[in-house]
Structure 1
């Protein structure tokens, strides 16, 4: 569906204005789609991303700083999110054996089970594959990378 149809207007200042709105709308569309999927497991998108990072650590501990560096949403309060995941028993925290001031964070078996349930549903590339060709995705990636400079 064209952005004009979604926003019920064709009055844009210029193509840059239209593209900016289109990017924001599409981002929100994807976020909403993924949020509906994580809601089924009673976790947020940020919690899901932290669980994925921890699973990728392959049983090695992570710290709050490592999670902050790797999160898609860099504005998140990672400590608070980890606290909630601990309450849900999806992650555990332990004092670091290497640095007594640091806390190591690990994904639990329950956390791995939640990810296993969500793995297929959270694959957003399936949505893209239905709408865009491989070449179109390459072009889109190049344009988005160029935009971020």
Structure 2
């Protein structure tokens, strides 16, 4: 009854609905905490995520499509995100020499420094989960992996059925 009281619902259809609502509700809290953390560093969660990807690929340049594919938030507008990072001097964007329609994106020295500064504070984000043990965190990660696989399977089947009926 705790979740029901927190969100003002009297009951759920079943435990799976309750679990999915609980994930969404918890995501809201976690997302707000992450947003506040990155705001202290003058950026957004998506901007940090993009810089993290670029740092991991450095010195190899990446395209906006690669960045979008690796982003945690698949709905992010990678082109706009890269433009904002470039305006802040955190990335260097150049035209791809083999395909003029593409750009090459590299993290700049300023971007490296900023992400390094943020990394030294990342333990604060880890502390958000201090209400569960390490073993419970492993179990939660495993359960969320199963949920993602179920969602991907359902999505892939839905897309395939829509393509068949199109």
TM over 0.5, yes or no? yes
2:40 is aligned with 1:40? yes
**CA distance in 2 between partners of 1:63 and 1:72 (Å):** 16
Q: Which has the larger radius of gyration?
A: 2
How far is the alpha carbon of 1:119 from its aligned partner? 1.2
Paired residue secondary structure (2:93): strand
Q: Could you say if the C-alpha distance between residues 31 and 122 of structure 1 is closer, same or farther in structure 2, counting changes exceeding 3 Å?
A: farther
**CA distance in 1 between partners of 2:58 and 2:85 (Å):** 18
**CA distance in 2 between partners of 1:46 and 1:119 (Å):** 15
Number of equivalent positions: 147
Is the contact made by 1:63 and 1:103 (CA closer than 8 Å) also made in structure 2? yes
- Shifted more, 19-28 versus 138-147: the winner is 138-147
2:95 is aligned with 1:95? yes
RMSD, matched Cα: 2.0
1:53-80 deviation per Cα after TM superposition (whole angstroms, max 9, x unaligned) = 0011122111111101100111111001
What pairs with 1:1-149 in structure 2 (closer than 5 Å)? 2-123=2-123, 124-128=125-129, 130-148=130-148, 149=150
Is the contact made by 1:34 and 1:122 (CA closer than 8 Å) also made in structure 2? no
1:19-51 deviation per Cα after TM superposition (whole angstroms, max 9, x unaligned) = 111100111111111110111122111111101
Paired residue secondary structure (1:30): helix
Is the contact made by 1:37 and 1:121 (CA closer than 8 Å) also made in structure 2? no
Which ranges in structure 1 are unaligned for 5 or more consecutive residues? none
Is the contact made by 1:90 and 1:111 (CA closer than 8 Å) also made in structure 2? yes
Paired residue secondary structure (1:67): helix
Is the contact made by 1:52 and 1:115 (CA closer than 8 Å) also made in structure 2? yes
The structure in which a higher percent of residues are helix is: 2
Q: What is the TM-score when the length of structure 1 is the normalising length?
A: 0.86
